Amino acid sequence: MGYETDLKLFIDGVWKSGEGRDAHDVVNPVTADAIAAVPYATQADLDEALAAANRAWPEWRSTEVEKRGAILRKAAALMRERVDVIAATLTQEQGKVIAEAKAEVLGSAQLFDWYAEEIKRDYGRTLVRPAGQLSRVIKQPVGPVATFTPWNFPIYLLAKKVAAALAAGCTVISRPPHETPGSATELFRALADAGIPSGVAQLVQGDANFISTTLIASRTIRKVSFTGSTGVGKHLMKLCADSMTLVTMELGGHAPVLIFDDCDLEKTLDMVVPQKFRNAGQVCVSPTRFYVQSSIYDAFLKGFAERTAKVKVGNGLEAETRMGPLANARRPDAVSQLVDDAKAKGARVLTGGERGDGGYFFQPTLLADVPDEAEIMNEEPFGPVAVSRAFDSFDEVIEHANRLPYGLAAFAFTENGRRANLIGDLVESGMVGINTFAISIADAPFGGVKDSGFGSEGGKEGLESYQVVKAIHQA
């Protein structure tokens, strides 16, 4: 299956391309060849998108939740029906293996279904007052929302924002990453075909800085939801300060994985190795820093290295491939530099450590005895590299886990219940997975602390992030 998605902008219910707009190449990371061209939004496009989102908002927020939910459910059904085409587009523009791409599309449909239901049970409250008086607390949609999403999960991370915002009664303007415009286009095609009213949802492709600056400065946008790097997140927050625009920031992470000697080592290794190389490590909650209790450190390294050597790297469209290339030309350079720095500072390379052949490939890599001074112990590698070192005591490993400014996800493997409870309490992160990596689920909040950002996506909290609270008192 080729790249079948017709790349366009979607503004005020109309698909747009051509007409003198700039077009930029979309590149397949397997070959580094251009496979499509994406039209870039102009100032006139953004003006039109803002006017449409503003105009459509009062009617959409007043639309019965049953009707809003029905459109979201229909869009979910269309995504499921089209899963093969959407996943093929996603794999070709981003590189992840086709099974992961399909799971991402189906997970996106599930988010639409979940928010279509959740909005029906979104209640306010009545406060206790003397007879004849009434005080109510109600939640209302914040208004037109701008979303900025990254290329690592280009449809799922967009679905998290768009499904919750639309369910809450907000209108949206979404800017997907220029590297992966096709899967975002397919999400909007599903919404359009499901009957989303004109002006409720716009898709503006193109230059990130131009689009974010223009949308935020407009004062039409009441909320910005961003997923991406901490640096860009801080920049957008500064832009939002001037207009007091609300923000949700889902930023980078550097997840510690605490492996205790009472875990089932074989079972743990069977879980952690595929998880490390999922999406070639380009996952904000990817397990990254492996702290392993000294008594099982050597056995852990041996088992990890053996499994890593067997990970089949290649074109994600081929069924036997287990890991594809990195998503863009910037990533292999960045990962190489981090691995070289770690080696220079004394880390041992047990497997991989080099770029792969052609395209943007990098070998699945395991580094041992990585010192705290190595850049990769401090900076998110966002690539297929596991870094490891041994620990002795519980207090020591908690200190290691918390030593970075990041706090997105943390994982631990132990059969000791009391230790598991303590880890849940003591590790500074938005999510903790104990004996599991399943932490991104439609009904659960997902978000970070410290430099990993704030605000939650997913769950009831994800809906609330698109609402403002009002207290109405009546004597």
Site residues (CB under 6 A) for ligand NAD?
148, 150-152, 177, 208-209, 212, 227-229, 231-232, 235-236, 250-252, 284, 330, 380, 382
CB of 382 vs ligand NAD, minimal distance in Å: 3
Closer to ligand NAD by Cβ: residue 252 or 455 = 252
- Cβ closest to ligand NAD, residue 158 vs residue 366: 158
Choose, from 250, 380, 428, 457, the residue flagged as catalytic. Answer: 250
Q: Is 250 a catalytic residue?
A: yes
Q: Which residues of 432-449 are buried (b: 16+ CB within 10 A; e: fewer)?
A: bbbeebebbebebbbbbe
Alpha helix positions (H), 225-329: 230-243, 265-277, 294-309
Smallest separation (angstroms) from ligand NAD to the CB of 330: 5
Nearer to ligand NAD, 376 or 390 (CB): 376
d(CA 375, CA 313): 26
Residue (169 or 177) nearer to ligand NAD, CB = 177
- For every residue of 378-399, DSSP letters joined together read TS---SSEEEEEEE--HHHHHH
CA-nearest of 282, 286, 274 to 321 is 274
Instruction: List the one residue out of 190, 152, 196 whose CA is nearest residue 171.
Output: 196
Structural contact between residues 312 and 363, judged by C-beta atoms closer than 8 angstroms: no
Q: If we measure between CA atoms, which residue out of 140, 117, 107, 111 comes closest to residue 70?
A: 117
Q: Are 89 and 182 in contact (CB under 8 A)?
A: yes
Residues paired with 450 in a beta bridge: 406
Q: How far is the CB of 267 from ligand NAD (least distance, A)?
A: 28
Up-side HSE of residue 263: CA atoms within 13 Å toward CB?
Answer: 28
What minimum distance in Å lies between the beta carbon of 10 and ligand NAD?
18
Closer by beta carbon to ligand NAD, 4 or else 333: 333
Per the residue annotation, which of 48, 170, 284, 457 is the catalytic one?
284
Query: Residues near 180 by Cβ (< 8 Å), separated by ≥ 6?
Result: 26, 90, 93, 94, 151, 154, 327
Q: How far is CA 83 from CA 22, 129, 219, 428, in A?
A: 29, 53, 37, 37
Nearer to ligand NAD, 169 or 458 (CB): 458
Residue closer to ligand NAD by CB (options 28, 279) is 279
Report helix, strand or coil for 63. coil
Cα 405 from Cα 333, distance rounded (Å): 24
Contacts of 359 (CB under 8 A, 6+ apart): 28, 29, 30, 31, 32, 325
CA distances from 341 to 231, 286, 326, 367 (A): 22, 21, 20, 12
> Cβ 244 to ligand NAD, closest distance in Å?
19
- The Cα 287–Cα 387 span in angstroms is 9
Q: Minimum Å distance from CB 451 to ligand NAD?
A: 11
Angle, helix 98-118 to helix 83-94, in steps of 10 degrees: 120
Least distance from ligand NAD to the Cβ atom of residue 26, Å? 13
Strands 449-450 and 431-434: unpaired
User: C-beta of 438: minimal distance to ligand NAD in Å?
Assistant: 17
Residue 438: helix, strand or coil by DSSP?
Answer: coil
| Residue 240 a catalytic site member | no
Least separation in angstroms between residue 186's CB and ligand NAD is: 18
Q: Pick the closer one to ligand NAD by CB: 380 or 428.
A: 380
Where do runs of H (alpha helix) occur along 33-180? 43-62, 65-81, 83-94, 98-118, 156-168
Closer by beta carbon to ligand NAD, 53 or else 259 = 53
Q: Which residues are identified as catalytic?
A: 250, 284
